[in-house]
Structure 1
Amino acid sequence: MSEINILWVDDEIDLLKPHILFLEKKGYSVSKCTNGADAIDMCDEHNYDIVFLDENMPGLSGLETLTEIKSKLPNLPIVMITKSEEEYIMEDAIGNKIADYLIKPVNPNQILLSLKKNLDHSRLVSEKTTSNYQQEFRKIAMDLAMVNSYEEWIDVYKKLVYWELELENISDTGMVEILESQKQEANSLFFKFIKKNYIDWVNDEDNAPILSNNLFKKLILPEISKSNGTLVVVIDNLRYDQFNIIEKTINKFYKKQEEIPYFSILPTATQYARNSIFSGLMPLEMAQKHPTLWKDDTDEGGKNLHEEEFLQAQLQRLRKDLKFSYHKITTLKNGKQLADNFNNEKENDLTVVVYNFVDMLSHAKTEMEVIKELASDDKAYRSLTNSWFVNSPLLEMIQKAQKLGMKLIITTDHGTINSKVPSKVIGDKNISSNLRYKTGRSLTYEQKEVFAVKDPKDIKLPSIHMSSSFIFAKEDYFFAYPNNYNHFVKYYKNTYQHGGISLEEMIIPCAIFVPK
């Protein structure tokens, strides 16, 4: 470690000789100064790592000196030291972005702790995080060996997401690689679990997790607040890790009451999962009960154009007399219009907003080189999602909902996975186009790489043709045709896709918030 250079500014610097000797014995280099004007000059001439600054000095005060130094060196950590406990001094110092605030008399260990906190913080956090994950790695490995229920899979996935977020800012890339391999193993085992249990789930609601078709009935409708109204936001294609990142901003306005992860139906694709949410039905039931609203994969036109009608029908079927509005946001202009007029929603029991940005982002990564650069991996993808959210009209809506006293429910229809491994598939010309699932006649595929359902009715999916079947890709695989195979693989490898079977696509958030 290179030598740390400290500037200590105090008009009674001689009284601090024991503290300075203590720091020098610890290997720190300490420069001394008795007034603000000299401190400013010294900061201009030397590169200090941190400044300890007395607040109460003759001439320029500590606060004035702080303001002057920060105007030139905004990233230089400054620790304010004062005899006064006046609240306004603390507020002024904090407003000027001090690194720490110490009350005299200070002892050497307080100074040392402040140095560690401000200069050695990232290294100490990195080392502790690495150590903690090494211990947790063994527990997760044991859990994976024994996990045998959907509740246990939710717990395992939440642990993996927690450690992914903890490890993303540390310097030890080896630990990140170990976590990635553990996630891969988890997805391999999860695929086998879904393959074994999914048919039973969709045919036995009592012994299944909450699936897309039961989300409104079991989670959302029991939470509707008739007194102040409820805002339900469905952010398309939002993974659990992305939700955890944007939740930090939501927590400034709302307090989380409950978080209940649920499972997306298969295919984990918008036209199936989101229509299922709003209709309260499985896709086969939608096709049977609402033949004019349901569209198959090969039909022309938009596949999610009737969510409002589906929701209306579901509320009537469940005998829920609610005044509701439905809004689908696909452009910045739409979002701003709704945010500007959001106070009109206070008359409703239920306001539903479907926000499509994250899905557009994942598709843009496939098609646009600039997005491939900006969202090159999961960490960057999370960062880009967060940047959008904190600057979006959606956050403005959430802030206005909080002021109106509305309850808030945030959820999604499915997640997405960074697809890396090609899997060859052959079918007739009417085969569906999605890269993580296929439906059609005469499908030929690698059996070990898919969950194949010969009769779609087994999992309550409609058939395009009498002999149509479905296949779902496992882990981070994606389907590629033998024709022009290399070009296809190069184009789609390392792009975000959905429709198949992975923890990221299937285990997704639903969180209930109350206004702060």
Structure 2
Amino acid sequence: MQKFNILWADDEIDLLKPHILFLQQRGYDVVTVNSGLDAVEKVEEQNFDIVFLDEMMPGMTGLEALQQIKILKPQVPVVMITKSEEEHIMNDAIGAKIADYLIKPINPNQILLSVKKILQNKQLISEKTNLSYQQDFRNISMAYNDAIDHEEWTDIYKKLTYWELEIDETENKSMQEVLETQKVEANANFAKFIKENYLDWLNEPNIKRPTLSHQVMKEMVFPKLTPGKPLFFVVIDNLRLDQWEIIEPLLSEYFVVEKDDTYFSILPTTTAFSRNALFSGMMPSDMARLHPDLWEGEDTDEGKNNKEEEFLQINLKKNRLNIKASYNKILQVNQGKAVLEQFSNLLKNDLNVLVYNFVDMMSHARTDMKMIRELAPNESAYRSLTHSWFLHSSLFELFKKISEAGAEVIVTTDHGTKRVNKPYKIIGDRNVTTNLRYKQGKNLNFESGKVFEISKPELAKLPKFNISTSYVFAVEDYFFAYPNNYNYYVNYYKDTFQHGGVSLEEIIVPIMHMIPKK
């Protein structure tokens, strides 16, 4: 056990000998002083892991000593001990960033609990987290090896995400490799599940299925519309469940999550397909057939998501919703500021749709820019970048304004992203799509196995550009690479975040209905 040094300042320190012996018997070194001034001098001379300060000492009070200690060594945790229950003393102590606050009379176990909570918190949490995950490991493995439905797969993904975030908080992350192995195995089984069920979801009318991209607005957004009350629908492009989980605590001060839900992104899990489906309420083949003026195929160089507002209006009309709706896409800081400036106007609408593209841009920048890759070398750092962006973003400011206005908001994304590591050789002509997680074209050559091939696009409700068009989706953490210039290509794209294929992270999408606390 690590040796911890404790400084205890109390003008009646002799009366606390039983408490001090109690701590010493448990391996803690305790230095005692009789005044606030002596406490400050000791902190200046010596390093302590924790300081106990009596609040009412003659001369320099505990609060005055606390201020001096925080100036000298701001990182040293200080526990204030007092007989007084006056609120202003408590407020002053908390405002000065104390680690704990104890009211006399105190017993030895109270002191021990405070010490452990402050000094051994991470160690004890790590031990408990690792033990709990080990106990849950078998349950998760048994679950995804059984014949299960989409709801159970969602539960498995939520559990894996929960443990990923919990283990990330542990000191040595000793269970991280075990979890990564379990996620790989879960994704392999999930790919089989999608291969066996995806086409049935789209073609069998009476089968049990998840809500898919094109059904989200009709099933999850439109029913929440209330006359005279603005509803905000925020789509954060390319946001995974784990990223949502680390920004949700920032929003908990302003909102209560009324419903924590998910839906399944359609294939390909890319913005061009899944987000257009989200807003239009149609599958890609229907968009291409019914609205060729709006749908941009793979054979054009035009932006694939420039007509989202028009698709949204079509969806509203199809559902006979004669409402006032706005649409805003935020790609740059100034666009986010403009939305905040016109917020009062948004409150006059029944529905406000806002698309924020930062997370998607971040994943692309991580691929293309060495500096971003160094800033986010792993999943944990990638989440941290998301958290930092959101904390300082115009989107967070927008959420605060929505809460202040007493409006409700639905937050979701169009698809997730997968960190890819394994190349998969594929050959196609010059017209084959460039996406690393799916390929669409004719005469595609590849080894069957770790892919999901759809040779009849019409069954997947996907556009068919010629008689031999097919789609191939990478699964698990594979990405497609061409044989020519293979090594360069593999080295460039390995360990990057991509989307378009089949994985838990890309397909199972969070969607939250939040009501303001105000």
Q: Shift in Å at residue 225 of structure 1?
A: 3.1
Matched with 1:334 is 335
Q: Shift in Å at residue 121 of structure 1?
A: 0.6
Q: Shift in Å at residue 513 of structure 1?
A: 0.4
| Cα displacement string for residues 227-256 of structure 1 (whole angstroms, at most 9, x for unaligned residues) | 331111100000010011111111110000
Counterparts of residues 463-482 of structure 1 (less than 5 Å): 463-482=464-483
Distance 2:266 2:206 in 1: 16
Q: Shift in Å at residue 297 of structure 1?
A: 1.5
| Cα displacement string for residues 360-385 of structure 1 (whole angstroms, at most 9, x for unaligned residues) | 00000110001111111111111110
Matched with 2:129 is 129
- Distance 1:206-1:215 versus aligned 2 partners, 3 A rule: farther
Q: Shift in Å at residue 333 of structure 1?
A: 1.1
Matched with 1:317 is 318
Q: Shift in Å at residue 22 of structure 1?
A: 1.5
| Cα displacement string for residues 36-64 of structure 1 (whole angstroms, at most 9, x for unaligned residues) | 11111110000011000001111111111
* Misfit runs of 4+, over 4 Å: none
Give structure 2 stretches of 5+ with no counterpart.
Answer: none
Tell me the SS of whatever aligns to 2:449.
helix
Distance 1:127 1:191 in 2: 33
Q: Which amino acid is 1:235 matched to?
A: I
Matched with 2:47 is 47
Q: Contact 1:228–1:405 at 8 Å: present in 2 too?
A: no
| Cα displacement string for residues 323-374 of structure 1 (whole angstroms, at most 9, x for unaligned residues) | 1110000001111121232122110111111000000000001100011111
Distance 1:384 1:446 in 2: 37
Distance 1:184 1:514 in 2: 36
Q: Shift in Å at residue 4 of structure 1?
A: 1.1
Q: Which amino acid is 1:156 matched to?
A: I
Q: Which amino acid is 2:126 matched to?
A: S
Q: Which amino acid is 1:462 matched to?
A: P
Matched with 1:394 is 395
Q: Contact 1:225–1:407 at 8 Å: present in 2 too?
A: no
Q: Which amino acid is 1:10 matched to?
A: D
- Distance 1:27-1:64 versus aligned 2 partners, 3 A rule: same
Q: Which amino acid is 1:493 matched to?
A: K
Distance 1:160 1:372 in 2: 24
Q: Contact 1:190–1:503 at 8 Å: present in 2 too?
A: yes
Identity over the aligned pairs, expressed in percent?
Answer: 53
Q: Which amino acid is 2:213 matched to?
A: S
Distance 2:302 2:339 in 1: 26
- Give yes or no for the alignment of 1:453 onto 2:469: no
Distance 1:168 1:189 in 2: 24
How many residues were matched structurally? 516
Matched with 2:214 is 213
- Give yes or no for the alignment of 1:157 onto 2:169: no
Counterparts of residues 136-155 of structure 1 (less than 5 Å): 136-155=136-155
Matched with 1:264 is 265
Tell me the SS of whatever aligns to 2:432.
coil
Q: Which amino acid is 2:393 matched to?
A: S
Tell me the SS of whatever aligns to 1:447.
coil
Tell me the SS of whatever aligns to 1:51.
strand
Tell me the SS of whatever aligns to 2:141.
helix
Tell me the SS of whatever aligns to 2:190.
helix
Q: Which amino acid is 2:405 matched to?
A: L
Q: Shift in Å at residue 89 of structure 1?
A: 1.0
Which 10-residue stretch deviates more, 21-30 or 411-420? 21-30
Tell me the SS of whatever aligns to 1:482.
coil
Matched with 2:491 is 490
Q: Shift in Å at residue 11 of structure 1?
A: 1.1
Distance 2:203 2:253 in 1: 41
Distance 2:285 2:317 in 1: 20
Matched with 1:429 is 430
Q: Shift in Å at residue 183 of structure 1?
A: 0.4
Q: Shift in Å at residue 223 of structure 1?
A: 1.2
Q: Shift in Å at residue 188 of structure 1?
A: 0.2
Q: Which amino acid is 1:438 matched to?
A: K
Q: Shift in Å at residue 465 of structure 1?
A: 2.2
Q: Which amino acid is 1:227 matched to?
A: G
Distance 1:336 1:262 in 2: 30
Tell me the SS of whatever aligns to 1:195.
helix
Q: Contact 1:234–1:355 at 8 Å: present in 2 too?
A: yes
Counterparts of residues 301-450 of structure 1 (less than 5 Å): 301-450=302-451
Counterparts of residues 257-296 of structure 1 (less than 5 Å): 257-296=258-297
Tell me the SS of whatever aligns to 2:483.
coil
Matched with 1:240 is 241
Distance 2:516 2:180 in 1: 37
Q: Contact 1:276–1:283 at 8 Å: present in 2 too?
A: yes
Q: Shift in Å at residue 147 of structure 1?
A: 4.0
Q: Contact 1:147–1:153 at 8 Å: present in 2 too?
A: no
Q: Shift in Å at residue 206 of structure 1?
A: 4.7
Matched with 2:22 is 22
Tell me the SS of whatever aligns to 2:347.
helix
Q: Shift in Å at residue 464 of structure 1?
A: 2.4
Q: Which amino acid is 1:301 matched to?
A: E
Tell me the SS of whatever aligns to 1:347.
coil
Which 10-residue stretch deviates more, 393-402 or 163-172? 163-172
Distance 1:484 1:152 in 2: 42
Tell me the SS of whatever aligns to 1:257.
strand
Q: Which amino acid is 1:131 matched to?
A: L
Please give the root-mean-square deviation of Cα atoms over the aligned residues, in Å: 1.0
Q: Which amino acid is 1:378 matched to?
A: E
Q: Which amino acid is 2:25 matched to?
A: K
Q: With structure 2 as the length reference, what TM-score do the two structures score? A: 0.98
Distance 1:210 1:3 in 2: 55
- Give yes or no for the alignment of 1:514 onto 2:487: no
Give structure 1 stretches of 5+ with no counterpart.
Answer: none
Q: Shift in Å at residue 173 of structure 1?
A: 3.4
Tell me the SS of whatever aligns to 2:233.
strand
Q: Shift in Å at residue 29 of structure 1?
A: 1.1
Which 10-residue stretch deviates more, 337-346 or 418-427? 337-346
Distance 2:134 2:306 in 1: 48
Q: Contact 1:327–1:354 at 8 Å: present in 2 too?
A: yes
Tell me the SS of whatever aligns to 2:371.
helix
Tell me the SS of whatever aligns to 1:261.
strand
Distance 1:203 1:365 in 2: 38
Distance 1:458 1:312 in 2: 27
Distance 1:229 1:304 in 2: 25
Tell me the SS of whatever aligns to 2:53.
strand
Q: Shift in Å at residue 307 of structure 1?
A: 0.5
Distance 1:449 1:141 in 2: 21
Matched with 2:187 is 187
Which 10-residue stretch deviates more, 169-178 or 430-439? 169-178
Q: With structure 1 as the length reference, what TM-score do the two structures score? A: 0.99
Q: Which amino acid is 1:162 matched to?
A: Y
Distance 2:59 2:203 in 1: 80
Tell me the SS of whatever aligns to 1:260.
strand
Q: Which amino acid is 2:462 matched to?
A: L
Tell me the SS of whatever aligns to 1:322.
coil
Distance 2:67 2:226 in 1: 48
- Distance 1:199-1:409 versus aligned 2 partners, 3 A rule: same
Q: Contact 1:436–1:478 at 8 Å: present in 2 too?
A: yes
Q: Contact 1:414–1:506 at 8 Å: present in 2 too?
A: yes
| Cα displacement string for residues 80-109 of structure 1 (whole angstroms, at most 9, x for unaligned residues) | 000011111111111111111000011111
Q: Contact 1:332–1:393 at 8 Å: present in 2 too?
A: yes
